[in-house]
């Protein structure tokens, strides 16, 4: 059984006020070419199909066109789930009708997780589609008051699945969440937190009974504990913390015994997301930018000392798609205000940032009661966003 594992398409994404739909159209055309070349038995999309719950019209039109090409023209089944960026109800609309056309898409989590069985020359392979759901939703669904975290939720769901199946069968789990194993996971700024205070983490061992687990949420392609539990990563770079990622898809071959053979296939974007650094006059010299794609999305770090006249205008004459411009050697204040977040603020959670602010103002750390209240407020705000 050969299938292609993808995730985190984020159709309709806006990065630093740049609409990415054209770039997504380009990279999805590459995916279509790969599908035509490889002729897999299925395409997997492990959540975050859209970037937000109410997707713009051009995003819906693009996805509709791509899905039609894959399922109708190439006759390749799609197995997809909703992620934390998607609206479960909107993603799952019409799913019963679409099943007959080879589009197996699950938006809302069901107590009996949907199973799709595909056949190859060795027999059946069961794909389990577990869309993203908050622990509170799972707690109500299973009527279990002990479900308080994503770990509790996933453990309960998987235990329920395993009660009703032969664990020796060849099987694939499709899940969207923050799964941790032996290594430190590689994260990026463009991943929206699932919850506050560590309750988003799910142990990789929950998926030990599946031949392969196709994960979505983290944007860097990586394994989690074992080679058969993996994030494919996003199709494109969506933040400058992802500049070193090799974006692409994961090609998975399951043999007769259910052992997974893995291959990462890189996709080349229309415009890369990259950083350049140096003096202004140096960066705009032809010998510096020749041989590069000047249409790339650029983060420029200027090292000049002193004042500069219209640096962004001079840079955009050469690099039209500058997303960020920063000064590394600009004069800094001798004393930071006690409410300053520090240079590593982008890597901190909202709760950690507020904790730093609270410490700066009051000289005290947040107690357990305040952390609980703030966590609830932040989670509610995240859901509304």
For the chain, the structural domain boundaries read 2-266, 273-327, 345-384
Tokens of residue 180, six digits: 């941790």
Tell me the C-alpha distance between 327 and 102, whole Å: 52
> Minimum mean pLDDT among 28-37, 88-97, 137-146: which range?
88-97
The answer to whether residue 336 scores a pLDDT higher than 50 is no
The answer to whether residue 24 scores a pLDDT higher than 70 is yes
Span 274-299, pLDDT tens digits: 999 999 999 999 999 999 999 999 99
The mean predicted confidence, pLDDT, of the chain is 89
Portion of the chain with pLDDT greater than 90, in percent: 71
Q: What's the first-to-final CA gap in the chain, in angstroms?
A: 39
Mean pLDDT of 65-84: 95
pLDDT score recorded for residue 346? 59
Does domain 2-266 fall into CATH 3.40.50.720? no
Per-residue pLDDT band for 100 (boundaries 50, 70, 90) equals confident
Of the spans 86-90, 259-263, 332-336, 341-345, which averages the highest pLDDT?
259-263
pLDDT score recorded for residue 334? 40
> Minimum mean pLDDT among 81-85, 108-112, 117-121, 304-308: which range?
304-308
Per-residue pLDDT band for 99 (boundaries 50, 70, 90) equals confident
Instruction: Give the global pTM.
Output: 0.83
pLDDT score recorded for residue 332? 40
Per-residue pLDDT band for 329 (boundaries 50, 70, 90) equals low
The answer to whether residue 338 scores a pLDDT higher than 80 is no
Asked if 214 and 228 touch (Cβ cutoff 8 Å), the reply is no
What are the C-alpha distances in Å from 292 to residues 19, 25, 26, 45, 211? 22, 22, 19, 32, 42
Contacts of 198 (CB under 8 A, 6+ apart): none
pLDDT score recorded for residue 361? 73
Span 182-200, pLDDT tens digits: 777 888 877 766 654 456 8
């Amino acid at each position: 059984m050969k299938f292609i594992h993808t995730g985190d398409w984020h159709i309709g994404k806006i990065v630093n006020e740049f609409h990415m739909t054209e770039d997504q159209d380009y990279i999805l055309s590459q995916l279509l070419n790969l599908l035509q070349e490889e002729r897999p038995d299925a395409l997997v999309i492990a959540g975050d199909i859209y970037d937000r719950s109410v997707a713009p019209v051009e995003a819906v039109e693009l996805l509709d066109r791509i899905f039609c090409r894959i399922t109708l023209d190439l006759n390749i089944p799609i197995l997809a789930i909703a992620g934390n960026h998607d609206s479960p109800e909107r993603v799952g609309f019409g799913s019963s009708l679409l099943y007959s056309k080879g589009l197996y898409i699950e938006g809302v989590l069901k107590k009996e997780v949907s199973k799709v069985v595909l056949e190859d020359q060795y027999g059946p392979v069961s794909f389990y589609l577990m869309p993203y759901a908050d622990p509170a939703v799972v707690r109500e669904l299973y009527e279990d008051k002990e479900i308080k975290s994503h770990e509790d939720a996933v453990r309960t769901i998987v235990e329920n699945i395993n009660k009703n199946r032969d664990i020796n069968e060849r099987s694939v789990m499709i899940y969207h969440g923050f799964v941790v194993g032996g290594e430190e996971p590689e994260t990026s700024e463009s991943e929206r937190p699932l919850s506050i205070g560590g309750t988003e983490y799910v142990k990789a061992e929950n998926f030990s009974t599946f031949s392969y687990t196709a994960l979505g949420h983290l944007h860097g392609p990586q394994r989690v504990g074992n080679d058969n539990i993996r994030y494919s990563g996003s199709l494109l770079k969506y933040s400058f913390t992802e500049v070193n990622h090799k974006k692409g898809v994961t090609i998975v071959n399951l043999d007769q015994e259910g052992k997974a053979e893995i291959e990462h296939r890189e996709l080349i974007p229309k415009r890369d997301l990259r950083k350049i650094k140096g003096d202004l006059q140096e960066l705009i010299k032809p010998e510096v930018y020749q041989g590069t794609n000047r249409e790339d999305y650029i983060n420029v770090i200027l090292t000049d000392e002193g004042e500069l006249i219209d640096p962004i205008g001079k840079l955009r004459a050469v690099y039209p798609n500058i997303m960020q411009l920063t000064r590394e050697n600009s004069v800094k204040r001798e004393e930071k205000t006690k409410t300053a977040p520090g240079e590593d603020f982008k890597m901190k959670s909202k709760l950690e940032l507020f904790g730093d602010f609270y410490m700066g103002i009051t000289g005290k750390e947040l107690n357990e009661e305040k952390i609980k209240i703030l966590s609830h407020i932040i989670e509610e705000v995240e859901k509304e966003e």
